[in-house]
Amino acid sequence: MISIFTRRELVVLASQEKLSRVREALSAAGIRSAVRIRGGARGAERARSGITGVRPDALYQYTVYVHRNDFERARAAMGPALRNG
């Protein structure tokens, strides 16, 4: 587990697809990560608010954290995952 006292923010993303690519790259490098999801309407609220033309994915913000000792390795592992798409 990554404690709030030992973690460091790696990246903030607005796409679930990018989040998936970053987490896969970190996992392949043997780096543990944690994600905090913010924003967006929940269940019935989303159905009522129905914003047309906005991807439901864009309503969320994904913050990826890694252990502070792994930060530089994580940054290097994450780079190609973000560049390739």
Q: What is the pLDDT of residue 2?
A: 85
Chain centroid offset of residue 11 CA? 7
**Strand ranges inside 1-85, DSSP E:** 7-13, 33-39, 60-67
Return the higher-pLDDT residue of 41 and 78.
Answer: 78
Please provide the CATH number assigned to the domain covering 7-83: 3.30.70
Contact criterion met (CB below 8 Å) for 19 and 80: no
CA pair distance 61, 73, nearest whole angstrom:
23
Domain ranges of the chain: 7-83
Tens of pLDDT, residues 9-66: 999 999 999 999 999 999 999 999 999 999 865 554 555 555 566 566 667 899 999 9
Return the higher-pLDDT residue of 50 and 2.
Answer: 2
Q: How many CB atoms lie within 10 A of CB 21?
A: 18
Residue 25 neighbours by CB under 8 Å, 6+ apart: 77, 78, 80, 81
